Structure 1
């Protein structure tokens, strides 16, 4: 068997349905495209209807279910998962990817900016995990042993802090706790939960830290000496969603060019 064909089979997501939040652009879009390339279906969740329409025009309609929703709304999580089950009969995975930034130094940060970031990153990860988990647990209790996989997108900021982004760092640190608790509580149902801590990925969200003011200092702390691309990091997400990671749970995978170890 050709090596490349073997690797695609190893991380196959054939006939799997995965919910991806923040699917309209950047890393979320990359995850969506790769899941479909690997044979899966995607429930693409985003608050921007236009980006979802564009995505839908470029991907197979039978494999993509666009869902316009505010990820911080717990009712939206329940509704979209129910609609996905109705459309595809089952949902097998989730990537909590949606995110925003509202930078400010701690002494100047507003309560709104604090709450908005925690709502979109941390609370949303809980709401969508809970909605999918209830579906997966019900299936397990009915005798289905296939389980499922949840991948939460964290960040190195959650492990070492981030100057000017205490809200983001706190949310990403909280996601690590959500991940480990999910793995502990739901392992008996064969539900796996892992997180990925990205370093600096070339997306609109990282434009400031990749700019002239911070570029050289940050690059000097990355052993690989470069930023990563969305296409490069989404492969790790699909690995954790697939059966190739069937015995991996409660882990925090750094996909960061060695940024974390440089401290």
Structure 2
């Protein structure tokens, strides 16, 4: 029996692929037989990862998802180079913390630009390509996974910009799923809890660690590698009848909410 999670022959764009969860997802795409298109504003990191994975398995594109011109150009180049984009993981994100009453407009906008508008720009560009393929009779794989967060479901203290953006990602997911399901394009989201990455160093510090872990029934934080696997599932044929869903990957944190 063929592995139902195989991504063999598929080209998958992974944003925020320079480190953490994005890097883990990119490595999983390659391990499952796909080609990972690595996108990140940190050009050195994605170029290094692309070199490590090899030209047959990865390609790097340096730029910000908050720049719609870059996104359109990147997708066009990927299609020209590889013929098709079969998957997209909207993972790129930043954190700029401040309490609501002290948050500057600039701090608000920086996070919205990357974590919400960036998701829309990538989804729109890749979605148009997938629609064009479908209208041309191509019934090949077409899956989009948007990375959200518990912050988008339950709110968060000191990161109203992040919580608002991640809640917005859930709305984008459901709307795109409704619009594109009849064309064979699946759109889902994954909501993570606390994952051991550079972005979560503050909340995992001694000051907050015990209080947070006490709210997680599994009693620990997640690793990037283990949270990448549900993303791989949603990209794969194993999830062929799943669209418009929000999968919580948080050690049980959301139980009862």
CA RMSD of aligned residues (A): 1.0
Q: What is the alpha-carbon distance in structure 2 between the residues aligned to residue 76 and residue 42 of structure 1?
A: 18
Q: What is the alpha-carbon distance in structure 1 between the residues aligned to residue 84 and residue 139 of structure 2?
A: 13
Aligned to 1:89: 83
Asked if 1 retains the 8 angstrom alpha-carbon contact of 2:38 and 2:50, the reply is no
Gaps of 5+ in 2: none
Superposition pairs of residues 116-127 of structure 1, within 5 angstroms = 116-127=110-121
Name the SS for the 2:9 alignment partner.
coil
Q: Can you list the C-alpha shifts for 1:3-30, whole angstroms capped at 9, x where unaligned?
A: xxx6xx1200000000000001000000
Asked if 2 retains the 8 angstrom alpha-carbon contact of 1:140 and 1:147, the reply is no
Matched residue pairs, number?
257
Asked if 2 retains the 8 angstrom alpha-carbon contact of 1:223 and 1:262, the reply is no
Q: 143-152 or 132-141: which moved more?
A: 143-152
Q: What is the alpha-carbon distance in structure 1 between the residues aligned to residue 99 and residue 256 of structure 2?
A: 24
Deviation at 1:262, TM superposition (A): 5.5
Could you tell me which of 234, 239, 257 is aligned with 2:233?
A: 239
Which contiguous aligned blocks of 4+ residues in structure 1 show a shift greater than 6 angstroms?
none
Could you tell me which of 196, 201, 204 is aligned with 1:202?
A: 196
| Normalised TM-score (structure 2) | 0.98
Asked if 1 retains the 8 angstrom alpha-carbon contact of 2:8 and 2:33, the reply is yes
Name the SS for the 2:137 alignment partner.
coil
Q: What is the alpha-carbon distance in structure 1 between the residues aligned to residue 256 and residue 184 of structure 2?
A: 35
Q: Does 1:104 align with 2:98?
A: yes
Deviation at 1:147, TM superposition (A): 4.5
Deviation at 1:57, TM superposition (A): 2.3
| Normalised TM-score (structure 1) | 0.96
Q: What is the alpha-carbon distance in structure 2 between the residues aligned to residue 53 and residue 75 of structure 1?
A: 21
